[in-house]
Structure 1
Amino acid sequence: MKLYETPSTPNCLRVSLFLAEKGMDIPREIIDVRAGDNLKEDFCKKSVNGLVPTLELDNGDYLCESIAICRYFEEIHPHPALFGQSHLERAQIEMWQRIIELQGIVLIAQAIRNLKQVYKDRENCIEDWGYEALLRFRKILPKIEAQLAAHQYIAGSSFSVADISTFIMLKMASKMEIEIDQQWPSIHRWQKEISQRPAFAALS
């Protein structure tokens, strides 16, 4: 297997943290998305969405989309279980994973791309949509605060892929000067605990 990645990008970091939590490591190849390496014909033949991360399997198949890649690793290396163990736990993790993805990561990504215009050479940046996306993103923070006030982790009592995604989301939010302070005590508590896990501590 081989993982094509730009290590600093959010979705590549999500897979890297997932692998670290699993205690797995695989060969990697750097794809420079800022330089447009992911737009080249050779890479697009490997990746359906033309994005990183993309996983090359030993049989010649390819997987893209970070959560799909994480699910594959969960199947071949089920312990520790990061997508849940019981029927209910798996459903709860899936629920929170989608909430974080659709109401959090997607919106903060749109805010960053349209306001900071990091890919203005290849996409039409719409400033008004960037501000609107940022406004909508902020609505997820009270939901996360309430959940973490009642539970140790995002989806309940066990650390999961939903915690990795939430960490990634908040890391992205910091680029827009949205910091987690005492206004969000439960999120602040959770961030402190998560940052002490070996996989996350290695980032600092």
Structure 2
Amino acid sequence: MRLYQGMGPNSYRVRIFLKEKAIEVPMVEIDFMKGEHKAPEFLTLNSLGQIPVLELDDGTIITESVAICRYFEEIHPEPPLFGSDAVSCARVEMWNRRVEFELFGTVGNVALHSDALFKDRLVQFPAFAETERQAVPRKWAWLDRELADGRPFLAGENFSVADISGAVCGWLAEVFGMEIPAELERVQRWHERVRSRPSWSA
């Protein structure tokens, strides 16, 4: 088994997930700056030229960070990071998707349409990037209101993959100069709670 990973939020999500599970997997570093993700041998693993990629011992390839995390959840169910019963599993799924659609997507659009790293990946629209950048504080304010019930983590009382996604999104936003507004105290407390976990160093 090997995990092809490198710089970027999706690889970071998987590394945090693995550390929470205390799972060790041999890792292959893919250097974006050298274009290793576009090398012919890598494209045989993932035709989209994206990381992370998990290669199993039998040659099976799994791409997409959440899919990789789900695989490890199935073979190492403790501690549960996708929920432990019907309701908690649904809430984790709900919050992970909310984070991806409302936060990750918005922050990601700023990066995709403004950073030179992605100029060969798509047609960039700087005006769209700026519009999305202006929307980011409103997205965090929405999350702050959602946390008004006092729960410690996004999906409830227990830490989950939704918190990993959300906190990594916060990290990515900081990288591109979009820090979580200081006045959003509930989001700030939640974000610090996640960042204080040992897995954050992954």
Q: Are the counterparts in 2 of residues 48 and 64 from structure 1 also a CA contact under 8 Å?
A: no
The aligned counterpart of 1:21 is: 20
Deviation at 1:122, TM superposition (A): 4.1
> Structure 1 residues 80 and 48 mapped into 2: Cα distance closer, same or farther (>3 Å)?
farther
Q: Deviations over 1:51-70 (max 9, x none)?
A: 10000011111000000000
Q: Distance in 1 between matches of 2:102 and 2:187?
A: 17
Q: Which runs of 5+ in 2 are unaligned?
A: none
The share of aligned pairs that are identical, in percent, is 33
Q: Are the counterparts in 2 of residues 111 and 133 from structure 1 also a CA contact under 8 Å?
A: yes
Is residue 2:38 matched to residue 1:39? yes
Deviation at 1:132, TM superposition (A): 1.9
Q: Are the counterparts in 1 of residues 52 and 63 from structure 2 also a CA contact under 8 Å?
A: yes
Ranked by relative contact order (alpha carbons within 8 Å, sequence separation 6 or more), the top structure is 2
The aligned counterpart of 2:93 is: 94
Which structure 2 residues correspond to residues 101-180 of structure 1 after superposition, within 5 A? 101-150=100-149, 151-180=151-180
Q: Distance in 1 between matches of 2:14 and 2:136?
A: 23
Q: Distance in 2 between matches of 1:42 and 1:66?
A: 20
The aligned counterpart of 1:194 is: 194
Q: Deviations over 1:25-72 (max 9, x none)?
A: 100111112222111221111114321000001111100000000000
SS state at 2:80 partner = coil
> Structure 1 residues 140 and 70 mapped into 2: Cα distance closer, same or farther (>3 Å)?
same
Q: Are the counterparts in 2 of residues 18 and 161 from structure 1 also a CA contact under 8 Å?
A: yes
SS state at 1:139 partner = helix
- Give the TM-score normalised by structure 2: 0.93
SS state at 1:29 partner = strand
Deviation at 1:196, TM superposition (A): 1.9
Q: Distance in 2 between matches of 1:58 and 1:40?
A: 22
Q: Are the counterparts in 2 of residues 49 and 64 from structure 1 also a CA contact under 8 Å?
A: no
Q: Distance in 1 between matches of 2:34 and 2:168?
A: 23
Is residue 2:78 matched to residue 1:79? yes
- Give the TM-score normalised by structure 1: 0.92
Q: Distance in 1 between matches of 2:163 and 2:72?
A: 17
SS state at 1:4 partner = strand
SS state at 2:44 partner = helix
63-72 or 173-182, which moves further after superposition?
A: 173-182
Q: Distance in 1 between matches of 2:129 and 2:26?
A: 36
